[in-house]
A and B are shown apart, each in its own frame.
Chain A
């Protein structure tokens, strides 16, 4: 079924758009992505200083009009056009949904495209071309998963038992639920991360709530007084996946990666409940963090120390040697002290 949902992913020369969330909460992930694309795959990708947010979080929270988001999107396309690129790749799944929604809107309501062009011109003097190819960063890693596999030093295999690691994939809702034909495998059987799991030696965990939202909910998470919505939805997922004993969760959405990491900490504090072995949590990685680990990058150079759920149990399973004493060092080995330990959730 999913095989009928394929998409074109350009082979080279990309304009890169950053994520609001990833820059803050997984601050090495985007640099790692760029490094893999440029150095491991030998592709050209442009990181523009002038780019900004797509405003997607504000749009889905109801505080900016659709026309505003459309025009900010148009400015991003204008920057791409000015830089001489035609292939747009974005780091955020909400953004991917936003860019796709605006392009589809312009297709069905051409007068909206015209209005947007005029608004952008009045506001900034800029003009734009529609991208020839629009993809999410995870689409690129999926496309080149075999090339990455050929360079990896580690496979998703438990070094001690020889068994494949059990990996949960979390596809952000806005990757394919809004426009199923724009995602690899569509909304029902998205294969963008599962393809990486299969290629890199692991096995997929197919659990009942696999497609359930992580619980971001935009205004539901952003407001402290609404946040129980968010943790409750993540808990529903953890409770559903727990019987399958996953070794790892990977996600392609900035929000999902963050929530599945942090809500494990919160649930442990609230209920004394942990979902990994021996009071650890289930490690949560982005797709490029996983690629980086398997390629042999130092885990502390790719930002895995700023996850709240400890990742060391995963390193041990993969057979990755790491230096615990380097985890919390700054530039030139400066000792920055250690974070406080959570009460229940085990950390290293």
Chain B
């Protein structure tokens, strides 16, 4: 059985992301997440560089790796060509693969992401779709969104979109053939397997927390998405 470090080294983002970190902290200085979360990319680079298995496992089971916003400002700045944002991507993938993601409040929220943007890709062909967005889940959309969504058939036609119709254009109906292509790519490249793992481990955690979890926007989804969590 491979060590966690060996598993990380199979991910080319980890290979590209970590050369030799001098612990200068420039990544932390520029990092938007470090300004608002208890988050320090320098420490993460240092931990994986040292290669202590117990410490890496702690990262995979903890909240820290989920705070990065993937802006990749760190890539521009590192004087040694490291990219903590890439290291994070590899750690997150391994956290899901091992099932450790359900051990942290932040990690287990991956289920809510899988059930929204993940499923939207296979249903609509895009990560985001107007019919799925409301001001209850997205109050920041503001009153203009309520008006627009309510009048979307009229407004989208006025604005030259092709909403829910065949052919090309904004918000068109994606053909069954294209959606099938996406599904087969997901099956072929293990995205389907990752989705199944997220569901399987999440079901286990929901059961442990005594919260109902079946599918879609159920009680466990609300718990994760809205933040009715232990720390809030």
Proximity string of chain B (192-232) to chain A, C-beta cutoff 8 Å, 1 when within and 0 when not: 00110010000000000000000000000000111101001
Closest to B114 in A: A63
Judging by beta carbons under 8 Å apart, are A262 and B125 in contact? no
Number of interface residues of A (CB under 8 A): 94
Q: Interface of chain B, helix or strand or loop or mixed?
A: helix
Known contacts A49-B168, A105-B12, A122-B188; decide if A225 and B229 are in contact (CB<8 Å). Answer: yes
CB distance from B145 to the nearest CB of A (A): 8
Known contacts A119-B189, A262-B141; decide if A233 and B36 are in contact (CB<8 Å). Answer: yes
Judging by beta carbons under 8 Å apart, are B147 and A328 in contact? yes
- Interface stretch of the complex, out of B1-9, B20-28, B47-55, B115-123: B115-123
Docked CA distance A72–B32 (Å): 29
The 8 closest A-B pairs by CB, nearest first: A225-B227, A217-B69, A330-B154, A339-B147, A62-B92, A340-B143, A28-B159, A123-B184
Proximity string of chain B (108-151) to chain A, C-beta cutoff 8 Å, 1 when within and 0 when not: 01101110111001000111111001000111111111111001
Proximity string of chain A (67-90) to chain B, C-beta cutoff 8 Å, 1 when within and 0 when not: 110111001000000000000000
Judging by beta carbons under 8 Å apart, are B147 and A336 in contact? yes
Judging by beta carbons under 8 Å apart, are A307 and B194 in contact? no
CB distance from B53 to the nearest CB of A (A): 22
A-B contacts at CB below 8 angstroms, number: 267
Docked CA distance A226–B144 (Å): 23
Judging by beta carbons under 8 Å apart, are A57 and B117 in contact? yes
CB distance from A334 to the nearest CB of B (A): 6
Most chain B CB inside 10 Å of its own CB: which residue of A56, A62, A66, A263: A62
Judging by beta carbons under 8 Å apart, are A31 and B185 in contact? no
> Could you tell me which A residues sit within 8 Å of B by CB distance?
18, 20-21, 23-24, 27-28, 30-31, 47-53, 55-58, 60-68, 70-72, 75, 97, 105, 108-109, 112, 119-120, 122-124, 173-174, 177-178, 180, 187-188, 211-213, 215-220, 222-229, 231-233, 236, 262-263, 265-266, 301-303, 305-308, 328-331, 334, 336-342
Closest to A231 in B: B140
22 contacts between A and B (CB under 8 A): A18-B170, A20-B128, A30-B170, A61-B113, A63-B110, A65-B191, A71-B188, A71-B189, A123-B189, A124-B184, A177-B75, A213-B32, A217-B70, A223-B109, A224-B227, A233-B36, A265-B140, A308-B144, A329-B158, A330-B158, A339-B143, A341-B143
Of the candidates B89, B154, B229, which one forms a contact with A331 in the assembled complex, judged by CB atoms under 8 Å apart?
A: B154
CB distance from A300 to the nearest CB of B (A): 8
Of the candidates B96, B129, B145, which one forms a contact with A62 in the assembled complex, judged by CB atoms under 8 Å apart?
A: B96
Proximity string of chain B (144-173) to chain A, C-beta cutoff 8 Å, 1 when within and 0 when not: 111110010011111111000011111110
Q: Is B58 an interface residue (CB 8 A)?
A: no
